Structure 1
Amino acid sequence: MPANRSRTERWRESLRQVYERGGGLEVAVMRGPGDEGGAVDLVWRVRVLGLSEREIVVERPGALGRCVEVPPGTGMTCAMSIGQNRWMFASRVVRSTPGPRGSLVLAMPEGVERCPRRNFNRVSTVGLRLPQVECWPLLDPSSTAVAETANQSAMRAALSGGPHGAIDTIAAAALPVVGPVFPASLVNVGGGGAGLLISKEHAGAVDGTRLYWFRVHLTPELPLPLSMTGRVVHHHLDHEQNVAAGVAFEFALNPAHRDFVAEQIERFSARVSAASARRAA
């Protein structure tokens, strides 16, 4: 029997291995059939806190010091990885524990499915659509405060139904002094940072010694891209020579922007969770 097939059939052992090593799962609120098109999934990296025959206990998703509310009954798309092997499964929230160190209790799945190497975010039953990110190397970090303030003004105007022409003008100006842009995908978020996947064609653009300006597209819940500054703190090549990069968000030059970014992440998550809860009702 091939090793990967054997591991899939013994997936509970793999899950326990993740737990015993202090590892985590990637989880996202499950989208409905009507959410196709431009809708994307925000994936959270959460640590596994406990296991039983029927339940998986994980950290509550959160970013920048704020936990995200996920109501009981919400469908979840989950993934676990060991080395280059990755499995996905569907679950639902059974209950949650409030508080800053709260947890989510997920229903144990009946089975998992191994992801193909060339499409590691989709199997036959569930899938993830990763948000796209525009990345620029920052040439003048001091120019980010003005751009962040412009991003806040444009986002608030768009959320309040302001005139599109004025919003587009503000959004176009919301760019600091930067170098050439390159694309990435937002693999996951958690704590004070995120994971990005950058195609091998743009691998040379990754430099751990400098700051970057990011625009994250979280449609349709957020009408405009969410902009922020960050630094690549670690990176490595995957099996296809693409770059997997860990990014730490930076707010030292404009601390107030931290609350704005956290607020928009909460807004996105609340809207997706509410839609999922309505479908489950």
Structure 2
Amino acid sequence: MPANRSRTAGWRQCLEQIKRRGGSIELAIARPEIDGSAVSGDLLVRCRVLSIDDEAIRVEAPVALGRTIEIPKGVELVAMMAVGQNRWMFRTHSLQWHSCAGRMDARAEIELAVPNRVERCQRRRDYRVETASLDLPSVQLWPLLDPSTVVLAERVNEAAFLRELDGMDSPLCRLGDGEVDDEILPEVGPSFPARLVNLGGGGVGLTVEDSYAGSLGRKSLFWMRFGLPPMLTTPVCATARLVHSHMQSDRQTYAGMTFDFSANPAHKRVVVRQILQAIACQQKLQMSRQAS
């Protein structure tokens, strides 16, 4: 058996290994092609694997800052799993949503269809195979010099988001003409780029190119901004605290960060609402395309 095929054929064993370790796979809403718009808002959310059989893969529902992200029956998904240096991607869909109502553990669950085809990513930093691709959000990070100065920037961001919601008359949440004032920032140092590779219960996972990795060690608090087009025009802005980091085999640095709302606790609900709104818009767009 060719080496590439043997690695692909072992995906089920790797999924079992992830389950035994209490690990997770990552899911994103599968997006249709949208003519004339640049989509770069694919959010990968982490879901712990609970069980695997010939009919379904059962996972915990994803959570963002304490809020469950509902993925109803029929929603098409792109899944990604990784073990060591190997990464696989496949298409699946939600077979059943299991609400947490009446459950002792109070965690909702999703049954996913077992994939017909699983493909191995050729390179560690790729999120693209023949049958699926992800365009992960670009992130801008600034070392935060004075945490107390985030309040004004967060309130301006909240006001922009509320104006956007007021103008959302399209059920597909198309891109609008709004612009974000880039000048309203807290007291920060020089910015550097990153990429948002996963969203967890209380924070995010980012990758930073080797040439910028040194910026991570200078401060523990960062001002973070990322967009989710075409679902939202207002970027997500928040303070993030670096929890851990390590260099990957591709020489990028992975940075695990947790949101920090200590300077402005009210901003947490804004970030949660933005994330849930973006995912809901993706689902509506997908369902509309399926219906047509």
TM-score when scaled to structure 2?
Answer: 0.89
Mark the CA change 1:91 to 1:35 in structure 2 (over 3 Å): closer, same or farther. Answer: farther
- Tell me the equivalent position of 2:267: 257
- Tell me the equivalent position of 2:173: none
1:20 is displaced (CA, Å) by 1.2
Given that 2:37 and 2:230 are in contact with CA atoms closer than 8 Å, whether structure 1 keeps it comes out as no
- Tell me the equivalent position of 1:23: 23
Provide, for residues 77-108 of structure 1, a one-character-per-residue CA deviation record: whole Å limited to 9, x for no partner: 00110000000000001111112400111000
Measure the CA separation in 1 of the matches of 2:51 and 2:35.
32
Matches within 5 A, 1:70-85: 70-85=71-86
1:238 is displaced (CA, Å) by 1.2
CA RMSD of aligned residues (A): 1.9
- Match of 2:187, SS state, is coil
Matches within 5 A, 1:155-166: 155-161=161-167
Q: Does 1:33 align with 2:33?
A: yes
Given candidates 185, 189, 193, the residue that maps to 1:179 is 189
1:59 is displaced (CA, Å) by 1.2
Given candidates 210, 219, 234, the residue that maps to 2:229 is 219
**What amino acid is aligned across from residue 247 of structure 1 in structure 2?**
M
Measure the CA separation in 1 of the matches of 2:261 and 2:214.
25
Structure 1 unaligned regions, length at least 5:
none
Provide, for residues 134-153 of structure 1, a one-character-per-residue CA deviation record: whole Å limited to 9, x for no partner: 10000111101111111101
Given candidates 104, 108, 120, the residue that maps to 2:110 is 104
- Structure 1 stretches of 4+ with a deviation exceeding 6 A read none
- Tell me the equivalent position of 2:277: 267
Provide, for residues 169-228 of structure 1, a one-character-per-residue CA deviation record: whole Å limited to 9, x for no partner: x73353100000101111010100000011111111112752000011111111121100
- Match of 2:123, SS state, is coil
Measure the CA separation in 1 of the matches of 2:20 and 2:218.
31
- Identical aligned residues as a percent: 43
Given that 1:131 and 1:185 are in contact with CA atoms closer than 8 Å, whether structure 2 keeps it comes out as yes
1:3 is displaced (CA, Å) by 5.5
Provide, for residues 241-262 of structure 1, a one-character-per-residue CA deviation record: whole Å limited to 9, x for no partner: 1111101100111111111110
Measure the CA separation in 1 of the matches of 2:286 and 2:149.
39
1:2 is displaced (CA, Å) by 6.0
- Match of 2:188, SS state, is coil
1:116 is displaced (CA, Å) by 0.9
Matches within 5 A, 1:1-281: 1=1, 5-34=5-34, 37-39=37-39, 40-99=41-100, 100-117=106-123, 119-161=125-167, 168=179, 171-207=181-217, 209-281=219-291
- Match of 1:126, SS state, is coil
Mark the CA change 1:272 to 1:259 in structure 2 (over 3 Å): closer, same or farther. Answer: same
Mark the CA change 1:59 to 1:36 in structure 2 (over 3 Å): closer, same or farther. Answer: farther
- Match of 2:279, SS state, is helix
1:37 is displaced (CA, Å) by 3.8
- Match of 2:88, SS state, is strand
